[in-house]
Amino acid sequence: MSVLLLTACSEEPALRIGSNQWPGYEPVYLARELGDFARSEVRLVELPSATDVMQYLRNGNLDGGMLTLDEALTLMAEGVPLRAVLVLDVSNGADAVLAHPQFKNLSDLKGRRVGVEISALGAVMLESLLEAADLHRDDIEVVPLTVDRQRQAFLDHAVDAVITFEPTLSQLRSLGAVTLFDSSRIPGRIVDVLVLREDILDEQAGHVRALLDGYFQARRYLDEQPATAIGRMAPRVHMNNADFRTALAGIRLPDLDENRQLLGGSSPRLTATAEDLLTLMVEWKLVESTPDVARLADDRFLPGHR
């Protein structure tokens, strides 16, 4: 009985990892489906938007989340202690400016309503489209719009264009929306990361390693059996296989070696990206304080780390 009680008390609670729907996060859910980590080790929590994931992290209702880099930096600036343990994807066309069919060029958006989630990702895309269209910020009407509300707002003509991402992007395209600009024109600027609260890294180190080991096993499955893997992942985000394959083509999924380069060494590449992004976030007044990004990247839990 003493041995059983000791074992029960030493068991780590499951890691609670939150996300919204985004194709770049799906290999984590694929790992769960394949049984690459136990549900007692990792509990995945799907929420309507990244805004909700951030709120759950603020409240301590999640141990980690899959977020864009700017969202992670926003939380850090608010005092939420986070470390990035995995770079999930880099957008290369999967974030886009979509408009109603009568708009043929970016310059046509002058004086029009553009729906965008107020975040640095939105700011990056907005600044980039304004530069490409030779417009100023006051040339358009910015309509704050979380991603879960964008589809209906677009269909209701409450906005003339939206800055959005998959799967909403493919859904709106299938309904006639046209692409005026996408992230392939700003390579390397939009990054998604898996972040964990600092206080659980040592307490649940075993579960963190199980999560990352399972992720890279799922990545190998995707590389070796892409058709079967896509067939498993697409329905979960309400996409058909063809649209999901197109969405994956719009993002780059860094492998283990690239993750080591992004997160490891004396000058992690992710740190430089975060510093550039923070400059924009300060300019747009998206953060009130500047977090210490030198503490962001953490490669200790990657498979094979020594």
Query: SS3 for 258-294, per residue?
Result: HHHHHHCCCCCHHHHHHHHHHHHHHHCCCCCCCCCHH
Of 128, 151, 185, which closes a domain? 185
Of 185, 219, 236, which closes a domain? 185
Residue 248 lies inside a defined structural domain of this protein:
yes
Q: State the CB neighbour count (10 A cutoff) for residue 224.
A: 9
Residue type, 153: A
One domain for residues 195 and 75: yes
Strand partners, 161: 99, 114
One domain for residues 154 and 195: no
Residue 247 lies inside a defined structural domain of this protein:
yes
Residue 113 lies inside a defined structural domain of this protein:
yes
pLDDT tens for each residue of the chain, 306 residues long: 343 333 333 467 999 999 999 999 999 999 999 999 999 999 999 998 888 999 999 999 999 999 999 899 999 999 999 999 999 999 899 899 999 999 999 999 999 999 998 777 888 899 899 999 999 989 999 999 988 899 999 999 999 999 998 888 989 999 999 999 999 998 878 899 999 999 999 999 999 999 999 999 999 999 999 999 999 999 999 889 998 999 899 999 999 999 999 999 999 999 999 998 898 888 878 888 899 999 899 999 999 975
Range of the domain at 212: 2-90+190-295
One domain for residues 110 and 73: no
Burial class (CB in 10 A: 0-12, 13-18, 19+), 145: buried
Which are the contacts of 235, defined by CB distance < 8 A and separation ≥ 6?
none
- Please give the model's pTM, rounded to 2 decimal places: 0.83
Residue 301 lies inside a defined structural domain of this protein:
no
CATH number at 155 reads 3.40.190.10
**Minimal CA–CA distance to 268: which of 243, 291, 298?**
298
In the three-class reduction of DSSP (H, G, I as helix; E, B as strand; rest coil), residue 117 is classed as coil
One domain for residues 181 and 202: no
Of 139, 163, 185, which closes a domain? 185
74: its two tokens: 């926003």
One domain for residues 125 and 235: no
Residue 36 lies inside a defined structural domain of this protein:
yes
One domain for residues 261 and 204: yes
Can you say whether the dihedral through the CA atoms of 232, 234, 238, 241 is positive or negative? negative
Domain count of the fold of the chain: 2
One domain for residues 145 and 203: no
One domain for residues 269 and 227: yes
